Amino acid sequence: MIKLISASERHEAQVGDWLQSHYLFSFADYYDPANVQFGPLRVFNHDVVAGHNGFPSHPHAEMEVVTIVLDGELTHKDSIGNEVTLKAGDVQRITAGTGVSHAEANDTDNTAELLQLWFLPNKRGLAPSYENMSLDFLDVHDKLVPLVTGQKVLDNVPFLNSNSTVYFGQVTQGQEIDFKTFKIRKTLVYVLSGSLLVNNVEVDRHDQVRLEQKDVVSLHGAANATFILVDVPATEANY
């Protein structure tokens, strides 16, 4: 099965004059019972935060929260003592576990662009924890780069308490990447720029495609393209 969801079908949310968000799944005031999650992937938001603004401190529990900075920078503070400035090319993972509060602020004059993904964990009752890495993924060519993973075959990326992996990808026009997977898993591809043919389905900027029961996901550059690929189990314990 392959399902194309166009950019116009994302839910757009404007918060004052400081935050522009697009939700790929039900979130906040947007609820669609047919679009709540994809495997353990519960939230996928594409945010642009104005300068000298940000998300005030707020609580989470029993969730893996992943932040991917595409442009600009954010300062992270949390209730377990972390204070870190994240820049473009950085990836952050918060295990909310039994409970944590955090805030993200753009203290610069420029906008910050980020993706935030939430995964339901494969273990409950975990102690809150935090990890971030500078992965410099934005300049790769014709490859997939893992950004965060719970699959232990991948090293040197933040660890996720979910049997899932998030990749950043780039493919040049006319080139192709084959992502090998299994029919017991699901794949979501979200195009950040350019245009892809994903298993021969055209996927343009800010479109997404969701695939199930595939052995291979073929990513062909219809134009130079950057994208996020999320590989998740079809089912996972404890959610």
Q: How far is CA 16 from CA 9, 19, 50, 195, in A?
A: 22, 7, 10, 31
Q: How far is CA 221 from CA 124, 125, 139, 199, 218, in A?
A: 40, 43, 16, 11, 10
Domain ranges of the chain: 7-233
The alpha carbon of 61 is separated from its chain's Cα centroid by a whole number of angstroms, namely 18
Helix (H, G, I), strand (E, B), or coil: what is residue 33?
coil
Residue 104 marked in a binding site: yes
pLDDT score recorded for residue 153 = 66
With cut-offs at 50, 70 and 90, classify the pLDDT of residue 230.
very high
Structure tokens at 106: 């753009």
With cut-offs at 50, 70 and 90, classify the pLDDT of residue 152.
confident
Q: How far is CA 37 from CA 24, 118, 164, 172, in A?
A: 9, 10, 14, 30
Q: How far is CA 72 from CA 56, 199, 211, in A?
A: 18, 33, 31
With cut-offs at 50, 70 and 90, classify the pLDDT of residue 198.
very high
Could you please state the CATH topology (level 3) that the domain comprising 7-233 is classified under.
Jelly Rolls (2.60.120)
For residues 151 and 7, give the distance between their C-alpha atoms in angstroms, rounded to a whole number.
30
The alpha carbon of 158 is separated from its chain's Cα centroid by a whole number of angstroms, namely 13
Residue 60 marked in a binding site: yes
Which H helix or E strand runs over 72?
none
Residue 220 marked in a binding site: no
Residue type, 1: M
State if pTM tops 0.85.
yes
Residue 52 marked in a binding site: no
Report whether pLDDT(23) > 60: yes
pLDDT score recorded for residue 234 = 87
With cut-offs at 50, 70 and 90, classify the pLDDT of residue 151.
confident
How large is the average pLDDT for residues 35-42? 96
Helix (H, G, I), strand (E, B), or coil: what is residue 138?
helix
For residues 34 and 26, give the distance between their C-alpha atoms in angstroms, rounded to a whole number.
9
Kindly tell me the burial class for residue 141, based on how many C-beta atoms sit within 10 Å of its own C-beta (0-12, 13-18, 19 or more): exposed
